[in-house]
Amino acid sequence: MWKNMNKPDFGVLDGLKVVHSATNMAGPMGATMLADHGADLIWLENPRIPDTSRSGIPLTVEIERRNCRTLALDIPSPQGREIFKKILEDADIYIEGWKPGTLAKWGLSDDVLWSWNPKLVIVHVSGYGQSGDPEYYTRGGYDAIGQAASGFMNQNHGAVAPFSCDAQAAMYIAFSSLAAYYRVCKTGVGESIDLSQVEIMMRQQLYLSDYATNGRTYGDESKKSATIAGWGPFTAADGQDIYVVGIGGNTMRKGADWLGLKYGSELNPEGNSIIAKGTAAGDEWDRVLTEYIASVPAATAEKELLAHSIPCTRIMTYEDVLNTEHWKMRGTFTTYKSSHGYDINSVAPMPHMANRPGQVWRGAPSLGMDNEEILGELGFSAEEIEKLYADGVINKRPVEDFRQ
């Protein structure tokens, strides 16, 4: 039985055992979300070809592989398979992200894994799913691919941001695995989850369902709303943009009235909460917002709009975010030591828990950093571990400096 004796007792998921062999972002990010709230997490990594993220964007590994231990294991090898079996026999959740069909090709189908552990929750993460048209489900899936293939990129006239698809998928990985685990605790029967990143991005789009139901299309939403007036960025006198979402009952009653759209008038009737784009009222709402915001500095516009119940914010830079006192007061950011010994400043585990908060207890491990510890917990002797190294079943590399 494996258990990390060095992990502090913390979080609402303390005692949950999670294993992942996913790469890049979505799968590992979902696993890290669980570990941030106390789950005991083991990362199984290819001993010969390290995770792509190790050579990608600086600090990717440090942020999305924190709070875990790593075992660099050749899973399909005979010895690796036996070690894999010992690990999963004692796991609650297993997350994998290989090309669909890879585990089955290795003789490690869901049924085989359940023969080892009938209660195991298995999460298969891929771009297009585990079944369907082979022309699709055999394709590689990455963040931008998920945005492009789901219609999301077209609707927004370009990729929205790096990792937006990965982050959405990660939240569904965390949610669905815990939902399945809740059911397993009641029934004792494991579950297999087929999570497609493209499908997740489809699920996030109301406009896609509207098109499927009504054939309705929407204009360019990459900047201002194509359907709602008063929604989007407006430029202040000092050149800084303010993003306004000018909707809601109080906004119409107080804010629009303050800017000249008298509440109760034909353009702003009582009970109104949204002004449609392309109408006389919509044109006027956009005009008065544009003219007012352009006449004053961004800080003044933000203060006055908020004072009159018009939701808005200056479009913040990272420097602005880090210097905002509100986030400091909430403990939004945390500092922890990397395995290399330097400080990592990162967003703390989210969301905030009142009674059992999450924490970062460890930076990202280097390849195979915890081989001996994990294998020792599984009952392997020092001599047996040395032979696994000699046979290429496990591997280890020096601690890396991910700042470069």
- Tens of pLDDT, residue by residue over 296-341, are 999 999 999 999 999 999 999 999 999 999 999 999 999 999 888 8
Half-sphere exposure of 176 (CA within 13 A, CB side): 22
Place of tokens 């997740």: 200
List, in order, residues 6 or more apart from 36 with CB less than 8 Å away.
Answer: 11, 66, 67, 349, 350, 358, 359, 360
Residue 347 and residue 289 in one domain: no
3-state secondary structure of 177: helix
Q: Evaluate if residue 200 carries a pLDDT over 80.
A: yes
> Among residues 258, 287, 320, which one ends one of the domains?
320
Model pLDDT, residue 157: 78
Is the residue at 8 inside a domain? Answer: no
Q: What distance in Å separates the CA atoms of residue 371 and residue 83, rounded to the nearest whole number?
A: 11
Q: Evaluate if residue 343 carries a pLDDT over 60.
A: yes
Q: 122 with 193: CB under 8 angstroms? A: yes
**Integer CA distances (angstroms), 247 to 61, 64, 99, 309, 310, in order:** 40, 36, 44, 10, 8
Nearest Cα to 141, choosing from 157, 155, 124? 124
- Which helix (DSSP H) or strand (DSSP E) does residue 126 occupy? strand 121-126
Model pLDDT, residue 402: 52
Mean per-residue pLDDT for 137-148? 88
Q: How confident is the model at residue 400 (pLDDT cuts 50, 70, 90)?
A: low
Model pLDDT, residue 274: 95
Pairing type for strands 191-196 and 231-235 reads unpaired
Is the residue at 12 inside a domain? Answer: no
Is the residue at 211 inside a domain? Answer: no
Cis peptide before 351 (omega within 30 of 0): yes
- pLDDT tens digits, one per residue of 95-128: 999 999 999 999 999 999 999 999 999 999 999 9
Nearest Cα to 21, choosing from 78, 67, 66, 84? 84
- Which helix (DSSP H) or strand (DSSP E) does residue 250 occupy? helix 249-250
Q: Evaluate if residue 222 carries a pLDDT over 80.
A: no
> Global pTM?
0.93
- pLDDT tens digits, one per residue of 226-235: 889 999 999 9
The CATH number that applies at residue 289 is: 3.30.1540.10
Q: Evaluate if residue 220 carries a pLDDT over 70.
A: yes
Place of tokens 């430029």: 235
Across the chain, how many H-helices and E-strands are there?
19, 11
Over its C-alpha atoms, the chain yields an Rg (Å, rounded) of 25
Residue 315 and residue 237 in one domain: yes
Q: Evaluate if residue 224 carries a pLDDT over 90.
A: no
Nearest Cα to 163, choosing from 317, 71, 59? 59
Is the residue at 137 inside a domain? Answer: yes
Residue 154 and residue 295 in one domain: no
Q: What distance in Å separates the CA atoms of residue 242 and residue 340, rounded to the nearest whole number?
A: 40
The CATH number that applies at residue 68 is: 3.40.50.10540
**Which residue numbers are catalytic?**
166
When mean pLDDT is compared across 54-68, 97-111, 273-287, the lowest value belongs to: 54-68
Model pLDDT, residue 81: 98
Domain carrying residue 360:
17-204+339-390
Is the residue at 138 inside a domain? Answer: yes
